[in-house]
Amino acid sequence: MPDYTLLKILHMTAAALVIIGVLLSSFTVAKPPAAARLASIRRWDRFVTGPALGAVWILGIIIGLSGNWFSSGWLPVKLVFVLILSALHGMQTGGMRRLAQGEAVPAFLRFSPYIALVSIAAIVLLASAKPF
């Protein structure tokens, strides 16, 4: 098993990419850009944000198990927000595909940046402060 600190650093690096990517996609579905820009954002989503999210899940579960964090209070609460962020990212990926096909996205995706903001803030606060 690789070093705990290394896995944690990789988890945080992948998390940084997820945060950037979800915010980028949030603004994209909230206020759709022109076709060329949409295409490059979709490529980023597919090749960077999506794989980074998968890596964050896997690395997070490994450090959660090896650090015995699943018996703490903050991790389950954080996972609720991880679930919300993951579902949001799924909706954004679907929404950007619709935009690329020239279709409209549901109006509530306008709230994407706010949902991302709240979930990201909650995740990072819980993971770093470990308040309970």
Q: Is 66 in the site for ligand HEM (CB under 6 A)?
A: no
Q: Which does 106 bind (CB under 5 to 8 A by kind): ligand HEM, other proteins, none?
A: other proteins
89 belongs to the binding site for ligand HEM (CB under 6 A): no
Query: How long is the chain?
Result: 132
Shorter beta-carbon distance to other proteins: residue 73 or 129:
73
CB 92 within 8 A of CB 110: no
94 binds, among other proteins, ligand HEM, none (CB under 5 to 8 A by kind): other proteins
CA 47 → CA 17, 54, 94, 101, 103, distances in Å? 11, 11, 15, 20, 23
Rounded CA gap, 31 and 41, in Å?
13
Interface positions with other proteins (CB under 8 A): 53-54, 57-58, 61-62, 65, 82-83, 86-91, 93-95, 97-98, 105-106, 109
